[in-house]
Amino acid sequence: MPARESVALVAIPLLLAVIIWLPPWGLLLIVGAAALLAGDELLTMARDHGVACGRMMPLLLLAATLAAAWTGGPARLSLALAATILILPTLQLLAPARPDGALAGAAIALFMVAYIGLTAACLGWLRQWPPNPWGKRLILLFLATIWAGDSGAYYLGKTFGRHKMSPRISPNKTWEGLTGGIVTSFAAAALAKLAFGLDLAWIHTMAIAAILAIAAPVGDLIESALKRDTGVKDSSALLPGHGGFLDRTDSLFYSAPLVLAYLMATGIIR
């Protein structure tokens, strides 16, 4: 069995078991660990490209940001990000090569904590804020739609792809693959709503599917642009056949704030 399918065969059932059988903190721990690994990969990509950014302090601040967000909501998230904005540039004064590289080092560290911290926090809130069992079913629909869309784009693009979508950023992505991903996203959202018994109107289910069908590929392209700029194909080799944790979380993290915003704007989550 190819490595891509083997990893998915092991990881997906374990994640589903955590979501179904454990309270919200179970998924929050997994999301937090994945966010820290993805953040470390992003910092490593930057350092290997010659950017003098730290490692431990940005990761500690990312962990603190997520802990603040999941224990105190948006107010504490804002305070944690404000502290990060002050702390990381200040630490650049201690860099041996100062002032050379101070701007780039501070910028990449701040971007990592703010981008991954905010988006991962929103993913956790999608599970944490809605009451059970609605929260479990919502996050299952979210994951199923993105995974199906990603798989549809990958396999259909590999089989039928002819027209490059963004050859300079992601040479393997095609318009045929994107179309396949959109179709499978809508189909997966509909099936997930029925299979998981999610009490959500069809118009909202399809709206979430539409958001994810577009946002997930955009999140993937953003990460591809960062990888191309730093000259790497995968963010790491931790997940055989999939790359690294940054590769596997890009679509999930980017999409979460948009779905959360829609649910709050429509009054579904208060």
pLDDT by 10s per residue, the chain, length 270: 566 667 767 778 888 889 989 999 999 999 999 999 999 999 999 998 888 888 899 999 999 999 999 999 999 999 999 999 999 999 888 776 667 778 888 999 999 999 999 999 999 999 999 998 999 999 999 999 999 999 888 887 778 867 787 778 887 888 888 898 999 999 999 999 999 999 999 999 999 999 999 999 999 999 989 999 888 888 888 877 678 899 999 999 999 999 999 999 999 998
Same domain, 137 and 259: yes
Q: Indicate the number of domains in the chain.
A: 2
∠40-46-55 over CA atoms, to 5°? Answer: 40
pLDDT of amino acid 80: 97
- Per the listing, tokens 């065969």 go with 9
151 and 123 fall within a common domain? no
Q: Are residues 251 and 212 in the same domain?
A: yes
How far apart CA 147 and CA 26 sit, in angstroms, is 20
Q: Which residue range(s) make up the domain with 88?
A: 24-129
Residue 130: its pLDDT value, please?
A: 93
Q: Angle at the Cα of 127 (from 125 to 132), degrees rounded to 5?
A: 130
Which of 97, 112, 129 is the last residue in one of the domains? 129
Give yes or no: residues 41 and 106 share one domain.
yes
User: Are both 197 and 218 inside the same structural domain?
Assistant: yes
Supply φ then ψ for residue 247, to 5 degrees.
-65, -35
What is the model's pLDDT at position 196?
93
Q: Based on the domain organization, do 160 and 49 belong to the same domain? A: no
Same-domain pairing of 138 and 210: yes
pTM: 0.93
Give the C-alpha separation, 188 to 219, whole Å: 19
Residue 85 burial (CB count, 10 A): 14
In the listed set 113, 129, 145, which residue is the last one of a domain according to the structure? 129
95 shares a domain with 161: no
Q: Output the pLDDT for position 97.
A: 65
Indicate whether 75 and 99 sit together in one domain. Answer: yes
Same domain, 168 and 100: no
Asked whether residue 19 falls in the same domain as residue 89, the answer is no
End position of a domain, from candidates 105, 129, 153: 129
Neighbours of 201 (CB within 10 A): 11
> Are 9 and 74 part of one and the same domain?
no
